[in-house]
Amino acid sequence: MRPLEDIRILSLEQYGAGPFGSMHLAELGAEIVKIEDPTSGGDVGRHVPPYAEDGDSLFFESFNKNKSSVLLDIRTPAGREAFHDLVRSADAVYSNLRGDVPAKLGIRYEDLEDVNPRIVCCSLTGFGMTGPRAKEPGYDYVLQALGGWMSLTGEPGGAPQKAGLSLVDYSGGFVAAISLLAAIHAARRDGVGTDCDVSLYDTAVSLLTYPATWHLTEGYEPARTHHSAHPSLVPFQAFEAADGWLVVGCAKEKFWQRLTVVLDQPDLATDPRFVTFRERDRHRDVLVPLLEELFRGRDVATWIAAMAAAGIPCAPIHDVGEALTDSHTVARRLVAETDHPRWGTVRSLRSPVRVGPPGDDTPPARGGPAMGEHTESVLRGIGYDDERLAALRAAGAFGPPEEH
């Protein structure tokens, strides 16, 4: 058995952050039942261009492997009743909606504790369920701006930049997954569920980490750095070689000593301006231009080979295609293949979360579910028969009756 095969999570999730978090739990064996609203086209991720058509999208496939989909309008009396029956069978209700929506939909612990006292209600929202921004929608771009990230990204003197990926969304998904597992553990231990009030805003601000500590304690003013340089460790940044770019990271003094040998500049190791981290940071305006000139003298492959032989942290700066075909990506089996009725074979990425001995076989992956694909099977699994399903359909629980 996979580690989470005894866990069922009902997920009112959409777009990226929420589905990203639950996808890792699904790969670990949890049953993720997506509750999709039939009146709104289901998860909005189904419709994200450019590769989208008729409720299928490659964006959706990226975040929804190994899940089930149930069509259910929980705002209707019949849909609400069916939802409560599902809650009785579940460990958690998970959502990523605006901060005031969980109360409106009745998916907080106080709304569901009479239905299932052990239920965990995890709400991943933009700004949390308290505070002055609680009712505001939260998107990754917005959170990168508010959280200070964009002020730190890009070249000095240039425009503020977002990170190339939606890292607040994805980090928020991981935070939600950790919170869910902790709360489910406590509910099974204590017999009482709870809420998890998780937010993208909290995630973004908390990821400021040590620059925030420096600022709060010593008044340090974080700023953008030249060629993505580390704020205090020198050299630790991108350098341009004769035919491309590489990253060199002297995170320990021994790496700097080795680098001076690779560069054929042993005098730099004993130059009093460069002998320690502190001195190199103080004199970075002298040292970095010197290093940049040296690195431009050879191609990337030559530098990488020499530094790797010396045990210096380094890497070529890959584009996306190069990252996906790197020999280590292949060896770690990070690419999953799933069947799809429209695209044939979808190649997407596995979860990095691993439980088991190194080299264990990859668990089989199912592609993202069609909208409502598992409505009948999931409801039959909690005891619904043909008559009950027909009554739900007639009452609009699966969408307007005339559509069925």
Cis geometry, peptide bond prior to residue 50 (ω within 30 degrees of 0): yes
Mind giving me the DSSP string for 354-404?
--SSTTPPPPP-PPPPPTTTTHHHHHHHTT--HHHHHHHHHTTTTS-GGG-
- DSSP labels for 266-284? THHHH-TTTSSHHHHHHTH
Tell me 136's DSSP state.
Answer: S
Alpha carbons 285 and 104: distance in angstroms, whole number: 56
Residue 305: left if φ>0, alpha if ψ -120 to 50, beta else—which one? alpha
Q: Which of 150, 158, 159, 154 is nearest to 204 (CA)?
A: 150
**Do 264 and 297 touch, CB atoms closer than 8 A?**
no
- Catalogue the active-site residues: 230
Residue 245 belongs to what H/E stretch? strand 245-249
pLDDT tens per residue across all 404 residues of the chain: 889 999 999 999 999 999 999 999 999 999 999 999 999 999 999 999 999 998 899 999 999 999 999 999 999 999 999 999 999 999 999 999 998 999 999 999 999 999 999 999 999 999 999 999 999 999 999 999 999 999 999 999 999 999 999 999 999 999 999 999 999 999 999 999 999 999 999 999 999 999 999 999 999 999 999 999 999 999 999 999 999 999 999 999 999 999 999 999 999 999 999 999 999 999 999 999 999 999 999 999 999 999 999 999 999 999 999 999 999 999 999 999 999 988 899 999 999 998 888 877 677 789 999 999 999 999 999 999 999 999 999 999 999 886 54
pLDDT of residue 360: 73
| SS3 (DSSP) at 55 | coil
Query: Cα(236)–Cα(314) distance, rounded to whole angstroms?
Result: 9
**CATH code for the structural domain at 8-206+332-403:** 3.40.50.10540
Residues of the chain with CATH 3.30.1540.10: 228-317
Dist CA 287 CA 283 (whole Å): 6
pLDDT of residue 403: 55
The pTM for the full model equals 0.92
User: Which residue spans of the chain are classified as CATH 3.40.50.10540?
Assistant: 8-206+332-403
Which residues lie across from 197 on neighbouring strands? 123
State the Cα–Cα distance between residues 34 and 11, nearest whole angstrom.
5
Which conformational region is residue 333 in: left (phi greater than 0), alpha (psi within -120 to 50 degrees), or beta? left
**C-alpha angle 150/151/154, rounded to 5°?**
75
Say which residues have a Cβ less than 8 Å from residue 96's Cβ, sequence separation at least 6.
13, 14, 15, 17, 18, 19, 21, 123, 124, 125, 172, 176
CATH entry, 228-317, from 3.30.1540.10, 3.40.50.720, 3.30.70.2860, 1.10.3720.10 = 3.30.1540.10
Name every residue whose Cβ is closer than 8 Å to that of residue 297 and which is 6 or more positions away in sequence.
Answer: 242
